[in-house]
Structure 1
Amino acid sequence: MTPADPTLHRMAATTLLAPFTGPNAPSWLCEAIADGLGGVCLFAINGNVADTEQLSTLSTTLSSYGQPVIAIDEEGGDVTRLAHATGSPYPGNAALGAIDDTELTRAVHRSLGAELDVVGINLNLAPSGDVNTATDNPVIGTRSFGSDARLVSRHTGAAVRGLQEAGVAACVKHFPGHGATRQDSHHELPTIDISMDMLTGRELAPFRAAVTEGAQAIMTAHVRVPVLTGTAPATLSPAALEGLLRERMGYDGLVVSDALEMQAISDTVGIREGVVRSLLAGADLLCLGAVQGPDVLRATTQAIVDAVRSGRLRAGRLEEAASRVRRLHAWRATAGRAEFDGAIGLTAARQAVLVTGEPAPLREPLVVEIETPNSMASGSLPWGVAAWIPGADAARVEPSRCTPHGRTRRSWRWGCRPGSPRAPPTSPRTGRRR
C-alpha cells in the first residue's frame, strides 16, 4: 500500500470506535459506517438506550450501512447501560466473587450475553479482570471479582466463556491491571509502582486466564506501570502491548483502547496524538469516548492518515489493526448462541447475601439499598433486585459508620418475606419472565 492509496482513509476509520447522541443513528454516523468506520460505542448518558425494540432497530440500522462493531459496557451490578433506569438484574462481579461458583458466573454472563445478542450488540466491554487490591480504589471496587488473583482469574475465565457462548465477544479490561490504583484515570494518570514479579504474579494472572479462554478482545488501561511502561500509560506503551501482551503472553486477538477522551490521555497527549500512539503501541480499535462528535472522528481519522503518509506509522501496522477489527465479525458468524435465563440474576443475588442472626419476618418484601459514592464508571444507579421481587418495597439509605473496638465497620439489613416460590415478574426490558 502506498501513501496515496485510496483505501488508506477507510482503513484508518476502521480502527475507530465512535460515540453519538440520541436513540437513532444520525446521518453523519451512517455515512461514516459506509465509509469504513470500525464501530460505535453505546452509552445510556447519550440517550442511545431506551428499550429492547429501540435498541434492536438501532442495531439493524447501523448494520445496514456496513459491518460495524456495536459495543457497550454491560458488566452487571454497578455498570449497566441496558438497565440504567431500573438497575441491573444481574449482580456485579464482587457478589459473584464472594459466592465463588464459577459455573454460576458463567451462567450469569451467558444470560447477559443472550440479552445483548438479541438486540444486535456484538462486543461487550466486560468483564473487569482487575485484581482489586487497593481498598480505596475509586474506579474499580465492586466491579472486580475480588482481591485474590487466583479467584479473579477463575471468574474472569468463566465470564468470558459465558458471554462468548452467547455469541457476544468479551473484552477483558483493564490490561495490565487497574486494581491497585488509588486514582481514577477518568481524571488523571494513575501509577502502579510495583515490581515485575508482582505484576506478573498478581495483575496479569486474570489476563492469562482470558487469553487461555480465547477472549476475543482485551482493553488497555490508562495506567502507568514504571517497571513496564516507564512514564507512559499502558495504552500508549509498545512494551506493554506488543512486548508483553502480544509476544510474551501470546495474545493475537483484538486490543481495544479505553476511552481516549479520559483525562489520563486527553490532558496529556490529547486525543489526536492518542490515536496515533495507541496504534504505534499495538492497539487495534480505538475508543474515542462518550462525548466526541463527528468533528473529532474526522480529526482522528486524518491524524492516522497523516501518520502513515509521513512514515511515522507503518502501513502494515494499520492493516494489521484493521484486519483484527474485521476478524471479529468472522468470529461472530460462527459463534454459538445461548438462551436467556430469566431466573439466574435473582438466584445469584440471593446466594450473595450473608444473613446473620435471626431477622424478624417482614409483612412485605423489603430491599434496603445502600447509598455509596459514585464513580465515573457507574454514576448514580438504582439497585435492580427490587424490580424482580413481586410486591417489594425499596428504601435507599446511607450506611451508618461506627468504630467498635477501634475498627471501622458498616452494617445494613436486607429482608424478604419467607414463603412459597412465586412466578418471577416480567422484565421491563425484554418482556420476558425473569
Structure 2
Amino acid sequence: MNDEITRLARGTLLPAFSGASAPRWLLAELERGLGGVTLFAINGNVPGTEALAALTAELRKAGDVPLVAIDEEGGDVTRLGGHLTGSPYPGNAALGAVDDPALTRRVYRSLGAELAEVGVNLNFAPSVDVNSAADNPVIGTRSFGADAALVSRHAAAAVTGTQEAGVAACAKHFPGHGATVEDSHLGVPVVHAGLDLLDRRELPPFRAAIEAGSRAVMTAHLNLPAITGGVPATLSPEAITGLLRGRLGYEGVIVTDALDMDGASGATGIPEAGVRALLAGADLLCLGAREYDDSVRAMLAAIGEAVRTGRLPLERLADAAERTRRLKEWLGGAGPAAVDRPAGMEAARRAVRVSGEPPGWSTAPLVVELESAGNIAVGPTPWGLGPWAPDAVRATGAVEEAAPVLDRAAGRGLVIVLRDAHRHSGQRALTNALLAARPDAVVVEMGLPVWAPEGAVHLATYGAAQANAQAAAERLGLAPEGGARAAAGHR
C-alpha cells in the first residue's frame, strides 16, 4: 500500500530544476512516475530552442509521457526565448483591443506550434481573468480586457488555437484574479464578490474555456470571503470542488498556481499547502521555481502521512491520477500546426491606438524610456523602443531628470515611453515636466492606457512585447514596416 501511495503522490507533482540539462535526481523521479516538470527561464531551463528540444527529449526518455509545462502567454509573460529578446507575439491586452477572435486563435495556434516543436506539452495559458481593477499589480496586460463577454470569446479562441497544435491549454487563474489590487506572490489578495457577481464577471471566461475543451485549469491563491471563508481558492473545496467541478461542470485537470507563492503557503509551508490543495480537489501541484529534489521528498512525505492517517483519502489521489492519465493520453493528438509569426505582427500593428498625428522627423528623435518595475510573473523581460532608435536613454522617473533629457533632445524630436503610467507617479510627473517644455513630444504607453496626458500625441500599444514595440516604431517612422532593429545606440 505504501508503494501505491507514493506512486500516486509522485504523479501529482510538477517540480522545477536548475540548468539546461536534467539533473540525475529528476531523471530518477521521472522513471518512478513523477507527474512532470515546470520549466522556468530564471532557472536557465530555456537557453535556446535547440537546447530546449534536447532537454525535453531527455525528459521524455526518462518518463512515461511526462508533462512539460511552461508559462508562455506571449506578450509580457514570455519564456520561450522572449525572456531574452521580447516576445514576437503580443499579449492578451493587445488581442483584446483588436477583438478579432480568429486572429487570437491564429496567434495561440502559432505559440502552441512553437512549444510543440521544442517538446513542451502543457502551457500555463491563457490568462482568462477579467481585469476589472485598473490598478491590478499582477494581471494588467495579461488580460484580454475588462469586459466579461470580450474575455470569454478570446478565452475560447486561445484555448482552441493552443490545442490545435497538440499542446494542452491551461485557463487561469480560477476563479478570477482580475479584481485584485494585491499580488498573490506576496500575500493573499481578497476579492469581495458573491456568487451573483462572480457569475456575471469572473466565471463566464472560464465557462467559455471549458466549453472550448481546455484540458487544464489553474487555481488562484486569492480569498473570496463569500465563497471560501478566508481560505485561498487553491486550498478551498468550496472553490475547486464546489464552483469549478460542481457549478461549472469541469472534468479536466486542475493544477495549482506555484505553491511557493505566499498566497498559498506563506502561513503553512509548501508541503502542507500541497496536501490541502489535493484535499480541495486539485490534481497537479506546481511547486515553484526553486523547488527541487528536497521539495519533492518533503511533498511525498506529507502526502503519504496524510493518506496513512486518513486525512487524505486514497481515492482522491487515484482520482487525480486518472485525470492526469487522460490528459497525457490526449497530448499530441492534434497538429502538428505551423508556426505563424506574421500573425503576431498583424495583431500588434492592429492593436496600436493613436491620438493625434505623430510628426515626421528629419533627424532621429531622442527616445526616453521611463523605468517601470515589473511584477514577479513578468520577470526581467526586455522592453521599449530603444532597439529601433539610434539614441535612447532610460530615466528612473524623477522630475530632476527633465533638464538633462531636454538638453539632450534640443533641436530634434522627443519620444517618451511609458509602461503602466497610471501605476507609477514618477512616470506621470516626469512626463508632465517634459511636456511642459516640449508639447510636441510624443508619448508611447506600453502598458494599459489608463492615464494619458492631455493634448499630447499619444500611442497605446497594449503591451511591451517585441512585436508591440516594433509596431509602435513603425507608426512613428523609427522603422519601416517589417524593419530591422537599429544596429547601435541602445544603451
TM-score of the superposition, structure 1-length normalised?
0.90
What amino acid is aligned across from residue 7 of structure 2 in structure 1?
A: R
Residue among 63, 75, 80 paired with 1:77:
75
> 2 CA distance for matches of 1:282 and 1:296?
21
Range moving further from structure 2, 361-370 or 40-49: 361-370
Q: C-alpha offsets along residues 341-381 of structure 1, whole Å, 9 cap, x if unaligned?
A: 13111111111111233323356999886643311111231
* 3-state secondary structure, aligned to 2:354: coil
Matches of residues 135-150 of structure 1 in structure 2 within 5 Å?
Answer: 135-150=134-149
Distance 1:156 1:238 in 2: 25
SS at 2:83 equivalent: coil
Q: Is structure 2 residue 372 aligned with structure 1 residue 372?
A: yes
Other-structure match for 1:248: 247
Secondary structure of 1:54's counterpart equals: helix
Unaligned runs of 5+ in 1: 426-434
Structure 2 gap ranges (5+): 395-415, 419-426, 436-449, 460-471, 486-491
Report the more deviating stretch, 225-234 or 320-329.
320-329
Contact in 1 for aligned 2:254/2:283 (Cα 8 Å):
yes
Distance 2:22 2:150 in 1: 41
1:14 is the counterpart of 2:41: no
Residue 428 of structure 2 aligns with an amino acid whose one-letter code is R
Partner of 2:355: 356
SS at match of 2:218: strand
* Amino acid in structure 2 at the alignment position of 1:79: V
Of residues 428, 445, 448 in structure 2, which corresponds to 1:401? 428
Number of positions where the alignment pairs a residue of Structure 1 with one of Structure 2: 417
Instruction: Report the 3-state secondary structure (helix = DSSP H, G, I; strand = E; otherwise coil) of the residue aligned with 1:85.
Output: helix
Maintained 8 Å contact 1:359/1:415: no
User: Which of 39, 45, 49 does residue 42 from structure 1 map onto?
Assistant: 39
The question of 1:56 aligning with 2:99 is answered: no
Calculate the TM-score normalised by the size of structure 2: 0.80
After superposing the two structures, state which structure 1 stretch, 151-160 or 328-337, moved more. Answer: 328-337
Task: Report if aligned partners of 2:167, 2:332 keep a CA contact under 8 Å in 1.
Answer: no
Pair 216,368 (structure 1): closer, same or farther in 2 beyond 3 Å: farther
1:265 aligns with 2:264: yes
Q: Deviations over 1:51-97 (max 9, x none)?
A: 01000000000000112100000001110011101011111111111
Give the number of the structure whose alpha-carbon radius of gyration is greater. Answer: 2
Q: CA deviation at 1:11?
A: 1.0
Shift in alpha-carbon separation, 1:418–1:214, aligned structure 2, 3 A: same
CA change 1:384–1:101 in 2 (3 A) is: farther
Alignment of 1:29-428 (within 5 A): 29-66=26-63, 67-82=65-80, 83-362=82-361, 371-383=371-383, 395=392, 399=418, 400-401=427-428, 409-410=452-453, 412-413=458-459, 414-416=472-474, 417=477
User: Structure 1 residues 110-119 or 305-314, which shifts more?
Assistant: 305-314
In structure 2, C-alpha distance between the alignment counterparts of 1:231 and 1:62, rounded to whole Å: 39
SS in structure 2 opposite 1:214?
coil
What amino acid sits opposite 2:382 in the alignment?
P
Distance 1:156 1:208 in 2: 9
SS at match of 1:279: helix
Query: For residue 270 of structure 1, what is the amino acid of its counterpart?
Result: G
In 2, distance between residues paired with 1:65 and 1:98?
43
What secondary structure, in the 3-state scheme, does the structure 1 residue paired with 2:331 have?
helix
Residues 368 and 55 of structure 1: CA distance in aligned 2, closer, same or farther (over 3 Å): farther
- State the secondary structure of the residue aligned to 1:197: helix
5 Å matches for 1:18-29?
A: 18-29=15-26
SS at match of 2:201: helix
Seen in structure 2, the aligned counterparts of structure 1 residues 312 and 349 have a Cα distance that, compared at 3 Å, is same
* Aligned-partner residue type, residue 19 of structure 1: A
The 8 Å contact of residues 106 and 158 in structure 1, kept in 2 or not, is answered as yes
Secondary structure of 1:59's counterpart equals helix
SS in 1 for 2:173: strand
Cα deviation per residue 1:207-242 (whole Å; 9 max; x = unaligned)? Answer: 000110000000000011011111111101111111
Distance 1:385 1:330 in 2: 44
Structure 1 SS opposite 2:383: coil
For residues 78 and 419 of structure 1, the distance between their equivalents in structure 2, rounded to whole angstroms, comes to 22
In 2, Cα distance between equivalents of 1:161 and 1:251: 16
> Percent of counterpart pairs with the same letter?
55
In structure 2, how many angstroms separate the alpha carbons of the residues matched to 1:42 and 1:133? 30
Change (3 A) 1:320 1:350: same
RMSD: 2.4
Q: Matches of 2:385 and 2:169 in 1, distance apart?
A: 25
For 2:154 and 2:194, how far apart are their aligned partners in 1? 25
User: C-alpha distance in 2, partners of 1:418/1:77?
Assistant: 21
Cα separation, partners in 2 of 1:76 and 1:370, compared to 1, 3 Å: farther
The verdict on how the C-alpha distance between 1:145 and 1:316 changes in structure 2, with shifts beyond 3 A counting, is same
